[in-house]
Amino acid sequence: MPRKPVEPSTPEQNAFVERAIEQYGKATYNFAYRLTGNEADARDLTQDAFIRVYRAWRSFQPGTSFLSWIYRIVTNLHRDELRRRKGRFQEEIPEDNAPQEFGGQKPLAVHPIDDYVERQLSEPLSRALRRLSSEQRQVIILADIEEYSYQEIADIMGCSIGTVRSRLHRARALLRRLVLQEQERPQQTR
């Protein structure tokens, strides 16, 4: 694919990228790590993202969030990479039409769940996150870890707010179901 000619790099262009790495490199790398689940892919993704920043530095608008911009770049690169790999590897990530959640109104026993959850949730949540589709995982990372608004997530992921909302609902339903399963397990003498 022919690339459009690159302007000769200027000192300010290099300085822009260096500063961006300094300030946002760690966040970008962690975002990439959460998306991919492994350090090697996260490293590649982070490098590629900053190369894009270098090429497109003029399109960054001062006053807007750099982090949102680079998250969007990472998201797109990750999506491209998954598409590319799909042909070569069996897709291990479930599609977006994840298993349906239980009937939404399942009443829960009234007992304090927070303490239990705080102690026991990590392990099932780690596993559950891996079972989400990449889109669902992205939306969980952006909504629950990075705490972006639905509108900001829509901008980063390049989709509608409605899509953000439904992906988050499905992803949360899956997490909830796994947590509840874990919670019931100790009571069942297996």
Contact positions vs other proteins (CB under 8 A) = 5-6, 8-9, 14, 17-18, 21-22, 25-26, 29-30, 33-34, 39, 42-43, 46-47, 50-51, 54-55, 101, 104-105, 107-108, 110-111, 113-114, 117-118, 121-122, 125-126, 129, 140-141, 143-145, 147, 149-150, 165, 168-169, 172-173, 175-176, 179
- Is residue 109 within 8 A of residue 159, CB to CB? The reply is no
Tokens of 128: 């559950």
* DSSP three-state, residue 13: helix
**Tokens 């590649």, located at residue:** 44
Residues 72, 159: Cα–Cα separation, whole Å: 11
Return the number of the residue (88 or 147) whose C-beta is nearest other proteins: 147
Smallest distance from the beta carbon of 158 to other proteins, in angstroms? 19
Smallest distance from the beta carbon of 90 to other proteins, in angstroms? 27
Return the number of the residue (156 or 168) whose C-beta is nearest other proteins: 168
Return the number of the residue (87 or 107) whose C-beta is nearest other proteins: 107
Other Cβ atoms less than 10 A from the Cβ of 49: the count is 27
Q: Which of 127, 134, 132, 152 is nearest to 142 (CA)?
A: 152
